[in-house]
């Protein structure tokens, strides 16, 4: 988010999902789309069926790697070196789009200078990717008629996540593969409404629509609308909250529909923070691990039980329509917040979620033209600046949101924790097709289909550790330990253990590292050192 | 755009060049029965039910794959055409179980609909019928190959929508079957369980297992909504009967995904009725969470947050909003924190 | 002894299975033993066509034919014919009318009425030697095309010749090439359809086995005219000898500069590959054939787009069968006008027929289009076996139809046959006599069609089985009066609504027999009788008490012991019809003609 915002002036996916089938080249890095974003995966496969080329950058032999034209099996955490290397090759071969760089960007010379030292040979050594593959990938991407970069958490969940993203933005600008149909840089958002939570200002530094809390004009506008004085200072980001709880700077936490004990890195540290609080409220639909620590648990409603909107990864705001009444004594989350606000002396008197949307539209320029009625069955892609605006299919056409695209020179950085003698395996984490985060285990059919963690380990490692398929092992890191079954597969390289984050019984995040990206404070879920020990 | 004039059943109509005869008919509300045709898939021209008579053409061409041409004269309902369709339907019904009463597809079965319209009895051709084992080995899809009319739509959905090609024809002639390679059951194949095959099956050969016995099409209302799982934002229809969600079906007009869904979107909706749902407020008393009523719970929170704010200042309170909740709820949450509590201590889990 | 004699031993699949291959080796040894190596050569040739009388050999230059030759005959042939110049009479063919031995090919009726263009090298040259082919003007056609003609001129010449596709439907070849030529594309393919699948047809196999270079040359000329640079011969794997000879020929043609890049210095490139199909009948349908080459299940797809627009791998493709391609070199070499002198107004040239069934001379015959069925069956084929009466001829395999005696004077060409309810098809001619039941014949062909149906379209997949079931019931005496209407309606629907030719023509045997032999159906249904005494279930055997000598032979031989009687007690022998399995043993065994069948 922050990376793309720096480079382009907007952190969202630049193109639409339905531009994928017509793209000529797909550069997929750190994204297991067929499992984590299955329908985007199907669109990619449709593009392949139409003859598109596919470059996959991933340490694992994921499904897309199997279908790729070039698969770059890089060492985890060497993305910047790899991208710089590809840029080096592009420049060396004169494949860069000089006219685009000239007309639409700034800061190119600095990048050119930085990537000079990333020769194919050097990069091959750092990343483990053969020189020929680097050249082939560079050629395919740079000489494409249209090309899209896709990335997800494999890029961002690193201590250098923001830098990774800006490197990709550099690559796109270098070749002019941005700002047109089926060409761009596309971060695919994880959860159903991450995009919306950001859009709505569930962030410590911005109001809805990315309007800065520190901007006096913005502050004045919201103070006028809400009729109360507002704080111009950004608040805590998540990791800060747990630190602050331990230091008693934070006394109460209200958790809406999240389970940080399971989903946040270094879970034991999170648990410690939550326990230190004076008062913890959890509003959830399931009795989550976090809810079990709460002082008060409020039963919210599932998507089927309420009306509202979600914003998907391509900025499309779509209706969620109530199909049934909330189960039991539960209430919709909006209703609960309104009642609480009223009880605290600030009446939230909305008759419906539609009324809330009217207020959002009034205060949020990118949502200005959105009403529930206009969304109908097809939704609208923001920015929707006014009531007649048809929505925006792709961003940065003719001009970047920030004006000129910003090249940022970046050097390779090592992950915060790499395997060592004590913790010799590199643990990487991700998702699998049959589950989503931590709540699909509550679906009896999905649970039945895919009931347990199967940590992936390379056959040669398994042989060395004398492990059998399906054997339960103990995995430990500096921060915690757990038990999991293993699946022996060539999908992972030697020295890597891959686990998902879906299972309560193998809560992977007790192992992961709480080290943070310096800008977004995103945890480094993708790399840490672990030890695997046989149980019997 | 170039327009063509053609005559359908004596009526002159104009259609854009490149239109098939089938589309030309449907644009003009002239009904043509189809079993193997689906707008989102390439046409196979296999079931032959959409045959029409076209002046000057040998035989009865299938309208789904015949391009309209200037001056073409098409007859869609003459006795010859209707007789051919009826014969084809008789052939299909002769090799199809007649257990419609208990079939999950009853009321939504294209074969039954056309058999009824064309007065098919199923008695003309008495002979061999398939008797194949039912594939019931997975939690999502119930496959009854005896009901399959080998229209091939599931095969195309698997390859053209999902890009998997798990399904194909096997064996020949009358013994032709559709299924995963080597006659494996679904759960032993490489199937993703996206269910695209189910979404296009015109008969009861492929049905959503969760919905079996739960409701008839005419008892069910469909509510279009957005999937709660990943960020792609697929839309689908929740099928509701008597105030209960009984399943999910594709909505072909879904803007992002059309009929495509993944295993979670299509089959994970049973999460709504999980035993682990919290259905009443809980308050910790003596270290244990016990049920409470709403007034008690909300008053307690209001009081506690009020006290903490008063004692330690608004910045001693923080909230995690939710990437699972709606935009409106996220808006309310941040407004609650900023306007009611008075702090910018709001964040949510996945900002990346 | 004549100088420079050649002994041509037929080594086609037919004669090879009758034991021709050892004969070649023994002949060579014998020639060597007699010290004749310098003057007499032994050649294993492709099919000489007279399969009924195989193994056959021909001594050149005298054109002497020996039939049913065995290994034991070799020494005698060499000693008597080669050395002494005298005929071995017992191995000569007997003229069917005079019953006198005839030795000269030109005197043998089977050959005399044929006109061999496509088969002119078959049985004459060694198919494994390119020099044998070039010695008979082989590759002159492509040389002429490349050196003297533009692709358009070649196309015009083929159009002018009036050649029509020999695969069955008879589409004008030049026009088909023209469509493919017109489609702009960076890549085009041509394909030789050698997926000969009709029961009884084997002319394509014989051409590939006996004269493979003629097919290669035909394809070269076609590729030049169309603008293709790559070709496939799609040959069924059941033809191993054809594939072997073709592969040898391709290698030789490559070495001689006829295949590859810059052919004969002209700048024209053409590469040819053999693709072995797995023997599905439907893969003879061009779209299914291409799917099979692409590695997919052999299933036809709807046309348009026609292969000329979007064929193999989506590229413009032209497909002709073996016999069609094999005609091309002759047209180029001798000109369209020469070619046009053979055949009828609308069907030019010759056609090869595979003559089988109850005819005396089975084998391959090549006759000008327009030859009558009577000439083919009686003059060339030598009439019906065992003096029985002719009943019908099935033309065009399972997709064709049965024609009765009244149609015997039909001059065979594409249009007359189609009008009569049959088709030229691949050229199979199955001759039936009075003992053939026409319902059973229809049932036989339907059994073939239903097994070979690919299963894609409803009418063919479901309908062929239902038609078969009805026919099967009728032959078992379980037919119902309404069956004929049901059958006719079903047959017409399948014909009019099926996706590909296999389905569209699968009902032809039924429609033709219903048209010409409806009375036989009616006899089965109404009277529970099979007029040809063929359908087992409808037969009944009785013993005539008057003629019975009570020898008990019938009862002793009856496998189910259903005949009882006793001479001592003068109890007449009777057959218990309920137990009788109608095997006919009693009829065969009775020396007094007392057992009769009805």
For A280-339, what is each residue's pLDDT tens digit?
999 999 998 899 999 999 999 999 999 999 999 999 999 999 999 999 999 999 999 999
Q: What is the distance between the alpha carbons of residues C215 and C201, in angstroms, rounded to a whole number?
A: 18
B288 lies within 8 A of chain A by CB: no
Q: Number of CB pairs < 8 Å for A and B?
A: 467
Interface mutation vs chain B, best among A64, A208, A242, A252, most B CBs within 10 Å: A252
Kindly state whether residues B289 and B271 are assigned to the same domain.
no
The shortest C-alpha distance from A93 to chain B (Å) reads 34
Residues of A in contact with B282 (CB under 8 A): 287, 294, 296-297
C294 lies within 8 A of chain B by CB: no
End-to-end CA distance of chain C: 61
Kindly state whether residues C188 and C139 are assigned to the same domain.
yes
Kindly state whether residues B315 and B251 are assigned to the same domain.
no
Residues of A in contact with B230 (CB under 8 A): 36-38, 190-192, 436
Domains, chain A, ordered by start: 2-188 (3.40.228.10), 194-381 (3.40.50.740), 425-534 (2.40.40.20)
From B55, B77, B99, the end of a domain falls on B77
Residue C113 within a domain: no
B278 lies within 8 A of chain A by CB: yes
Among all residues of chain B, which has the CA nearest to that of A338? B332
Of B84-98, B231-245, B319-333, C193-207, minimum mean pLDDT range: C193-207
- Which of 114-133 (B) contact C at CB < 8 A? 124-125, 127-128
Kindly state whether residues B242 and B291 are assigned to the same domain.
no
Q: What is the distance between the alpha carbons of residues C71 and A13, in angstroms, rounded to a whole number?
A: 83
**Is residue A13's pLDDT more than 60?**
yes
Q: Choose among C301, C304, C497: nearest Cβ to B60.
A: C497
Nearest by Cα to C134 from C205, C58, C217, C63: C217
From B49, B77, B105, the end of a domain falls on B77
Kindly state whether residues C445 and C571 are assigned to the same domain.
no
Residue C198 within a domain: yes
Note the ipTM here.
Answer: 0.92
Q: Centre a 10 Å sphere on the Cβ of residue C332 and count the other Cβ atoms it contains.
A: 28
B299 lies within 8 A of chain A by CB: yes
Kindly state whether residues C237 and C143 are assigned to the same domain.
yes
Nearest by Cα to B341 from B304, B312, B315: B315
Nearest by Cα to A240 from A259, A230, A253, A258: A253
The shortest C-alpha distance from B4 to chain A (Å) reads 29
DSSP string, C361-406: S-EEEEEETT-BHHIIIIIIT-SBGGGPPEEEEEESGGGSEEEEGG
Q: Choose among A278, A285, A322: nearest Cβ to B278.
A: A285
B290 lies within 8 A of chain A by CB: no
Say if residues C411 and C387 touch (Cβ distance below 8 Å): no
- Output the pLDDT for position A1: 56
Compute, in degrees rounded to 10, the torsion defined by CA atoms A49, A50, A54, A58: -40
- Output the pLDDT for position C197: 84
Say if residues B236 and B266 touch (Cβ distance below 8 Å): yes
**How many domains does chain C fold into?**
5
Q: How confident is the model at residue A88 (pLDDT cuts 50, 70, 90)?
A: very high
Residue written as tokens 């640079």? C229
Contact (CB<8Å) C456/B44? yes
Kindly state whether residues B319 and B269 are assigned to the same domain.
no
Kindly state whether residues C190 and C286 are assigned to the same domain.
yes
B94 lies within 8 A of chain C by CB: yes
Query: Could you tell me which residue, A58 or C49, shows the higher pLDDT?
Result: A58
From C287, C316, C340, the end of a domain falls on C340
Say if residues A267 and A523 touch (Cβ distance below 8 Å): no
Kindly state whether residues C405 and C464 are assigned to the same domain.
no
Kindly state whether residues C19 and C167 are assigned to the same domain.
no
| Contacting residues for B71 by C-beta, under 8 A, at least 6 apart | B5, B6, B7
Kindly state whether residues C137 and C86 are assigned to the same domain.
no
**Is residue A122's pLDDT more than 70?**
yes
Q: For residue B147, what are the CA distances in angstroms to B109, B143, B237, C119, C333? A: 11, 9, 25, 52, 59
Residue B109 within a domain: no
**Is residue B349's pLDDT more than 80?**
no
Residues of A in contact with B223 (CB under 8 A): 321-323
CATH number at residue B26: 3.10.20.740
Residue C534 within a domain: no
CATH number at residue C75: 3.40.30.10
User: Which tokens go with C255?
Assistant: 């070495």
Residue B91 within a domain: no
Kindly state whether residues B259 and B296 are assigned to the same domain.
no
Strands, DSSP E only, in C413-516?
Answer: 428-433
Residue C160 within a domain: yes
Percent of chain B at pLDDT > 70 equals 99
Residues of A in contact with B333 (CB under 8 A): 202, 256, 337
The alpha carbon of residue C351 and the mean position of all alpha carbons in its chain are separated, in whole angstroms, by 11
- Calculate ∠ Cα A201-A202-A207, nearest 5°: 25
Among all residues of chain B, which has the CA nearest to that of C482? B124
From C370, C404, C433, the end of a domain falls on C433
Element (DSSP H or E) covering residue A46: helix A38-49
Say if residues A305 and A330 touch (Cβ distance below 8 Å): yes
Residue C117 within a domain: no
Burial degree of C152 (CB within 10 A; 0-12, 13-18, 19+): exposed
From B17, B43, B77, the end of a domain falls on B77
User: Which tokens go with A156?
Assistant: 């961002």
Kindly state whether residues B268 and B223 are assigned to the same domain.
yes
B150 lies within 8 A of chain C by CB: yes
Say if residues A154 and A526 touch (Cβ distance below 8 Å): yes
Burial degree of C147 (CB within 10 A; 0-12, 13-18, 19+): exposed
Give phi and psi for B340, each to the nearest 5.
-90, -50
Contact (CB<8Å) C459/B88? yes
Element (DSSP H or E) covering residue C318: strand C317-321
The chains found to touch A (3+ Cβ pairs under 8 angstroms) are B
Q: Choose among B231, B243, B351: nearest Cβ to A37.
A: B231
- Calculate ∠ Cα C362-C366-C371, nearest 5°: 100
Contact (CB<8Å) B231/A192? yes
Q: Centre a 10 Å sphere on the Cβ of residue A79 and count the other Cβ atoms it contains.
A: 28
- Calculate ∠ Cα C229-C231-C235, nearest 5°: 175
B165 lies within 8 A of chain C by CB: no
Compute, in degrees rounded to 10, the torsion defined by CA atoms C275, C279, C284, C287: -70
**Is residue A37's pLDDT more than 90?**
yes
Residue written as tokens 């200037």? B70
**What is the extent of the structural domain holding B260?**
216-276
Say if residues B48 and C458 touch (Cβ distance below 8 Å): yes
B69 lies within 8 A of chain C by CB: no
DSSP string, A405-449: EE---------S----SSS-EEEEEE--TT--TTTGGG-HHHHHH
**How many domains does chain B fold into?**
3
Say if residues B287 and A205 touch (Cβ distance below 8 Å): no
Query: Could you tell me the pTM of the whole model?
Result: 0.91
Residue C101 within a domain: yes
Kindly state whether residues C424 and C443 are assigned to the same domain.
no
From C107, C139, C155, the end of a domain falls on C107
Contact (CB<8Å) A191/B324? yes
Residue B185 within a domain: no
Of A298-312, A519-533, B16-30, B60-74, minimum mean pLDDT range: A519-533
- Output the pLDDT for position A336: 97
Kindly state whether residues C166 and C83 are assigned to the same domain.
no
Kindly state whether residues B266 and B299 are assigned to the same domain.
no
Give the pLDDT of chain C (598 residues) as one tens digit per residue. 456 889 999 998 889 988 999 999 999 999 999 988 888 999 999 988 888 888 999 998 888 999 999 999 999 999 999 998 899 989 998 887 788 888 777 788 888 888 999 999 998 899 999 999 999 999 999 999 999 999 999 999 999 999 999 987 789 999 999 999 999 999 999 999 999 888 888 899 999 999 999 999 999 999 999 999 999 999 999 999 999 999 999 999 999 999 999 999 999 999 999 999 988 889 989 999 999 999 999 999 998 899 999 999 999 999 999 999 999 999 999 999 999 999 999 999 999 999 999 999 888 999 999 999 999 999 999 899 988 999 999 988 888 888 999 999 999 998 998 888 888 888 889 999 999 999 999 999 999 999 999 999 999 999 999 999 999 999 999 999 999 999 999 999 999 999 998 999 999 999 999 999 999 999 999 999 999 999 988 988 999 999 999 999 999 999 999 999 998 998 889 999 889 998 889 999 999 999 998 8
β-partners of residue B317 are A252
Kindly state whether residues B263 and B293 are assigned to the same domain.
no
Residue C115 within a domain: no
Kindly state whether residues C85 and C52 are assigned to the same domain.
yes
Say if residues C248 and C209 touch (Cβ distance below 8 Å): no
- Output the pLDDT for position B350: 61
β-partners of residue C394 are C402, C430
B322 lies within 8 A of chain A by CB: yes
C280 lies within 8 A of chain B by CB: yes
Residue B304 within a domain: yes
Residue written as tokens 């889990």? B349
Kindly state whether residues B242 and B289 are assigned to the same domain.
no
Q: For residue A113, what are the CA distances in angstroms to A75, A99, B169, C286? A: 24, 19, 58, 60
| Residues making up chain B, counted from first to last | 352
Residue C122 within a domain: no
Say if residues C417 and C395 touch (Cβ distance below 8 Å): yes
The shortest C-alpha distance from B196 to chain A (Å) reads 11
**What is the extent of the structural domain holding C588?**
539-597
The shortest C-alpha distance from C193 to chain B (Å) reads 22
How do B244-250 and B235-241 pair as beta strands? antiparallel
Say if residues A90 and A142 touch (Cβ distance below 8 Å): yes
- Output the pLDDT for position B189: 94
C292 lies within 8 A of chain B by CB: no
The alpha carbon of residue C302 and the mean position of all alpha carbons in its chain are separated, in whole angstroms, by 28
Among all residues of chain C, which has the CA nearest to that of B45? C302
Residue B313 within a domain: yes
CATH number at residue B266: 2.20.25.90
Kindly state whether residues B315 and B261 are assigned to the same domain.
no
Kindly state whether residues C180 and C285 are assigned to the same domain.
yes
Residue B151 within a domain: no
Residue written as tokens 């009446």? A347
- Output the pLDDT for position C280: 87
- Which of 209-238 (B) contact A at CB < 8 A? 210, 223-235, 238
C233 lies within 8 A of chain B by CB: no
Residues of C in contact with B173 (CB under 8 A): 450-455, 460-461, 464-465
The shortest C-alpha distance from C505 to chain B (Å) reads 12
Q: For residue B318, what are the CA distances in angstroms to A42, A197, A253, A273? A: 40, 16, 5, 13
B276 lies within 8 A of chain A by CB: yes
**Is residue B351's pLDDT more than 50?**
no
- Output the pLDDT for position C488: 96
Kindly state whether residues B263 and B298 are assigned to the same domain.
no
Kindly state whether residues C390 and C408 are assigned to the same domain.
yes
CATH number at residue C556: 3.30.70.20
Residue written as tokens 């014949």? C441
Residue B112 within a domain: no
The chains found to touch B (3+ Cβ pairs under 8 angstroms) are A, C
The shortest C-alpha distance from B216 to chain C (Å) reads 29
């Amino acid at each position: 988010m922050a990376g793309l915002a720096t480079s382009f002036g907007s952190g969202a996916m630049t193109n639409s999902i339905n531009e994928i089938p017509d793209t000529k080249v797909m550069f997929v890095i750190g994204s297991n789309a067929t499992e984590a974003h299955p329908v985007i995966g199907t669109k990619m496969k449709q593009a392949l069926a139409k003859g598109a080329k596919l470059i996959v950058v991933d340490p694992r032999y994921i499904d897309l790697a199997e279908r790729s034209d070039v698969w770059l099996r890089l060492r985890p955490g060497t993305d910047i070196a790899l991208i710089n290397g590809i840029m080096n090759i592009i420049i060396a071969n004169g494949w860069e789009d000089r006219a685009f760089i000239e007309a639409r960007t700034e800061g190119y010379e600095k990048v050119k200078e930085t990537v000079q030292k990333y020769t194919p040979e050097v990069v091959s050594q750092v990343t483990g990717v053969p020189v020929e593959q680097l050249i082939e990938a560079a050629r395919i991407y740079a000489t494409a008629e249209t090309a899209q970069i896709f990335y997800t958490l494999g890029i961002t969940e690193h201590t250098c996540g923001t830098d990774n993203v800006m490197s990709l933005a550099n690559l796109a600008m270098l070749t002019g593969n941005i700002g047109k149909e089926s060409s761009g840089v596309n971060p695919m958002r994880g959860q159903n409404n991450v995009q919306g939570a950001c859009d709505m200002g569930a962030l410590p530094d911005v109001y809805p629509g990315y309007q800065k809390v520190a901007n006096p004009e913005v502050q004045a506008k919201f103070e006028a609308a809400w009729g109360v004085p507002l704080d111009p200072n950004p608040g805590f980001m998540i990791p800060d909250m747990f630190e602050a709880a331990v230091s008693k700077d934070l006394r109460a936490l209200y958790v809406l529909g999240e389970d940080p004990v399971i989903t946040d890195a270094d879970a034991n540290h999170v648990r410690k923070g939550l326990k230190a609080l004076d008062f913890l409220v959890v509003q959830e639909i399931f009795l989550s691990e976090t809810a079990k620590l709460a002082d008060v648990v409020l039963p919210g409603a599932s998507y089927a039980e309420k009306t509202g909107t979600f914003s998907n990864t391509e900025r499309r705001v779509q209706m969620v329509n109530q199909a049934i009444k909330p189960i039991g004594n539960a209430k919709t989350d909006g209703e609960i917040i309104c009642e609480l606000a009223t009880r605290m002396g600030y009446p939230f008197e909305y008759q419906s979620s539609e009324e809330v949307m009217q207020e959002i539209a009034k205060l949020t320029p990118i949502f200005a033209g959105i009403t529930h009625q206009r969304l109908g069955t097809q939704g609208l892609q923001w920015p929707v600046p006014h009531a007649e605006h048809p929505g925006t299919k792709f961003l940065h056409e003719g001009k970047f949101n920030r004006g000129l695209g910003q090249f940022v020179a970046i050097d390779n950085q090592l992950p915060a924790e790499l395997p060592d003698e004590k913790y010799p395996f590199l643990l990487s984490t991700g998702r699998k097709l049959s589950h989503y985060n931590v709540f699909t285990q509550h679906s009896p059919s999905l649970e039945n289909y895919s009931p347990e963690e199967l940590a992936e380990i390379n056959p040669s490692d398994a042989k060395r550790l004398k492990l059998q398929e399906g054997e339960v092992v103990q995995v430990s890191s500096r921060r915690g330990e757990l038990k999991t079954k293993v699946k022996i597969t060539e999908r992972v390289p030697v020295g890597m253990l891959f686990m998902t984050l879906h299972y309560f019984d193998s809560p992977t995040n007790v192992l992961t590292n709480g080290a943070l990206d310096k800008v977004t404070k995103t945890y480094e879920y993708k790399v840490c050192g672990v030890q695997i020990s046989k149980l019997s | 755009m170039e327009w063509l004039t053609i005559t359908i059943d004596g009526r002159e109509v104009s259609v854009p060049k490149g239109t098939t005869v089938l589309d030309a008919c449907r644009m003009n509300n002239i009904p043509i029965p189809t079993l193997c045709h689906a707008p989102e898939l390439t046409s196979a021209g296999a079931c032959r039910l959409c045959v029409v008579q076209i002046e000057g053409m040998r035989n009865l061409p299938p309208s789904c794959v015949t391009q309209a041409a200037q001056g073409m004269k098409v007859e869609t309902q003459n006795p010859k055409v209707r007789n051919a369709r009826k014969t084809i339907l008789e052939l299909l019904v002769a090799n199809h179980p007649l257990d419609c009463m208990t079939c999950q597809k009853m009321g939504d079965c294209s074969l039954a609909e056309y058999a009824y319209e064309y007065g098919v009895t199923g008695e003309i051709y008495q002979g061999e019928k398939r008797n194949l084992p039912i594939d019931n080995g997975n939690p999502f899809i119930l496959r009854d190959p005896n009901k399959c009319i080998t229209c091939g739509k599931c095969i195309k959905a698997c390859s053209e929508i999902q890009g998997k090609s798990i399904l194909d024809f096997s064996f020949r002639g009358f013994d032709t079957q559709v299924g995963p390679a080597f006659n494996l059951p679904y759960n032993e194949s490489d199937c993703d369980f996206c269910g695209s095959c189910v979404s296009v099956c015109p008969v009861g050969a492929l049905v959503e297992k969760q919905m079996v016995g739960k409701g008839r099409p005419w008892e069910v209302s469909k509510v279009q909504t957005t999937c709660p799982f990943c960020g792609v934002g697929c839309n689908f229809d929740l099928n509701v009967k008597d105030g209960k969600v009984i399943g999910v079906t594709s909505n072909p007009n879904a803007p992002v995904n059309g009929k495509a869904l993944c295993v979670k979107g299509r089959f994970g909706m049973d999460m709504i009725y999980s035993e682990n749902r919290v259905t009443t407020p809980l308050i910790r008393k003596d270290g244990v969470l016990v049920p409470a009523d709403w007034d008690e719970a909300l008053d307690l929170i209001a009081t506690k947050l009020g006290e903490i704010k008063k004692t330690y200042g608004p910045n001693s309170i923080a909230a995690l909003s939710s990437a699972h909740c709606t935009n409106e709820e996220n808006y309310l949450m941040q407004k609650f924190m900023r306007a009611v509590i008075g702090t910018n201590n709001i964040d949510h889990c996945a900002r990346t | 002894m004549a100088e420079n004699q050649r002994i041509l031993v037929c080594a086609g699949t037919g004669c090879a299975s009758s034991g021709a291959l050892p004969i070649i080796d023994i002949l060579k040894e014998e020639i060597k033993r007699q010290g004749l190596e310098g003057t007499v050569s032994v050649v294993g040739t492709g099919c000489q066509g007279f399969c009924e009388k195989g193994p056959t050999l021909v001594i050149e230059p005298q054109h002497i034919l020996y039939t049913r030759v065995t290994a034991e005959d070799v020494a005698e042939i060499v000693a008597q014919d080669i050395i002494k110049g005298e005929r071995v009479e017992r191995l000569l063919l007997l003229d069917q009318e005079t019953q006198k031995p005839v030795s000269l090919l030109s005197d043998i009726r089977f050959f005399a009425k044929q006109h061999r263009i496509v088969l002119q090298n078959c049985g004459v040259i060694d198919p494994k030697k390119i020099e044998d082919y070039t010695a008979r003007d082989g590759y002159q056609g492509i040389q002429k095309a490349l050196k003297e003609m533009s692709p358009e001129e070649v196309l015009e010449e083929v159009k002018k010749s009036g050649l029509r596709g020999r695969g069955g439907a008879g589409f004008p070849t030049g026009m088909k090439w023209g469509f493919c030529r017109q489609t702009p594309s960076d890549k085009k393919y041509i394909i030789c359809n050698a997926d000969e699948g009709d029961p009884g047809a084997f002319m394509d196999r014989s051409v590939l086995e006996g004269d493979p270079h003629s097919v290669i040359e035909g394809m070269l000329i076609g590729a030049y005219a169309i603008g293709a640079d790559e070709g496939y011969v799609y040959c069924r794997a059941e033809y191993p000898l054809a594939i072997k000879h073709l592969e040898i020929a391709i290698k030789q043609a490559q070495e001689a500069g006829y295949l590859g890049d810059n052919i004969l210095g002209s700048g024209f490139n053409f590469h040819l590959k053999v693709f072995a199909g797995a023997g599905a009948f439907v893969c003879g349908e061009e779209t299914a054939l291409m799917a099979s080459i692409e590695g997919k299940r052999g299933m036809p797809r709807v046309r348009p787009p026609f292969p000329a627009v979007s064929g193999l791998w989506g590229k413009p493709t032209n497909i002709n069968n073996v016999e069609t391609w094999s005609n091309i070199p002759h047209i180029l070499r001798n000109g369209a006008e020469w070619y046009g002198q053979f055949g009828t107004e609308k069907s030019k040239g010759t056609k090869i027929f595979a003559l089988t069934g109850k005819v005396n001379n089975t084998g391959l015959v090549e006759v000008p289009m327009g030859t009558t069925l009577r000439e083919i069956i009686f003059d060339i084929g030598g009439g019906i076996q065992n003096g029985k009466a002719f009943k019908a001829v099935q033309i065009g395999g399972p997709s064709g139809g049965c024609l009765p005696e009244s149609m015997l004077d039909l001059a065979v060409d594409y249009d007359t046959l189609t009008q009569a309810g049959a088709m030229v098809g691949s050229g199979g001619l199955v001759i039936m006599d009075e003992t053939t039941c026409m319902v059973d014949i229809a049932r036989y062909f339907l059994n073939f069609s239903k097994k070979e149906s690919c299963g894609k379209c409803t009418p063919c997949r479901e309908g062929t089985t239902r038609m078969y079931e009805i026919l099967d019931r009728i032959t078992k005496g379980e037919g119902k009066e309404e069956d004929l209407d049901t059958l006719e309606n079903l047959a017409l629907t399948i014909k009019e609504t099926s996706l590909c030719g296999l389905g569209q023509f699968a009902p032809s045997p039924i429609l033709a027999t219903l048209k010409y032999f409806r009375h036989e159906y009616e006899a089965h249904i109404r009277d529970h009788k099979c007029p040809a005494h063929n359908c087992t279930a409808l037969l009944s055997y009785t013993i005539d008490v008057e003629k019975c000598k009570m020898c008990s032979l019938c009862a002793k031989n009856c496998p189910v012991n259903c005949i009882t009687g006793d001479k001592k007690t003068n109890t007449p022998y009777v057959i218990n019809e309920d137990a009788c399995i109608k095997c006919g043993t009693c009829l065969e065994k009775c020396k007094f003609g007392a057992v009769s069948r009805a």
